[in-house]
Amino acid sequence: MNPYDALAQAYKYPRPGHLGELQAAVEAMPSGSAKRSYERFTSLLAHLTLSEWEELHTRTLDLSPLFAPYVGYITWGENYHRGAFLAAMNRAEAEAGVDPDGELPDHLDPVLRYLGRAAEPLPELIEVIGPAVTKMHTALKKAEPHNPYVHLLVATKRVLAAEPVPGGGNE
């Protein structure tokens, strides 16, 4: 597993056994601050029951989210540019063998999995992913500074900054 897949797993809806998978995925994270932030995220989740984690996930990422986990939406809002970006990401993810798994192609889960597989990621994505995740982090930290997902966004920012993109990972 590469760091992008480890991060993508953490943005998925919780299920039985999920926390154990995330804790095991810590080994995929690069040493340093990204790994520490990811470990902090999983350690905070370990104090929650599955139903509490489901509620936290839904409140944070799904229904009236505290931050929108959509790179294109954060960057352009609901306009033509996002539509073109969604179409491009849909094609690129399909070519890389990434199933969006019910999410829009600009959601962090498929975007991170795509970055972990694509030898040459879309230049448009490379241009906007860092600033978009920074905006997501800022919004969540302002709304709920003690939310565990703040640490996940920090880990995401740090992996994006540390990993050589394009070609973020090979399976």
Give 68-93 pLDDT, tens digit per residue: 899 999 999 999 999 999 999 999 99
Indicate the length of the chain as a whole number: 171
Q: What is the pLDDT of residue 28?
A: 86
What pTM did the predictor assign? Answer: 0.91
Q: Are 49 and 26 in contact (CB under 8 A)?
A: no
* 77 half-sphere exposure, CB direction, 13 A CA radius: 1
DSSP-derived letter for residue 58 is I
25-79 pLDDT, tens digit per residue, is 998 888 899 999 999 999 999 999 999 999 999 999 987 778 889 999 999 999 9
Tokens of 125: 């994505």
* Closest listed residue to residue 66, CA positions, set 130, 155, 152: 152
Closest alpha carbon to 57 in 20, 109, 105, 94: 109
pLDDT band at 143 (very low <50, low <70, confident <90, very high): very high
Q: Which two tokens stand for residue 96?
A: 């890389």
**Cβ neighbours of residue 24 closer than 8 Å, sequence gap 6 or more:** none
Residue type, 171: E
Q: Is the pLDDT of residue 138 over 90?
A: yes
Instruction: List pLDDT tens digits, range 13-25.
Output: 999 999 999 999 9
How far is it, in rounded angstroms, from Cα 99 to Cα 81? Answer: 22
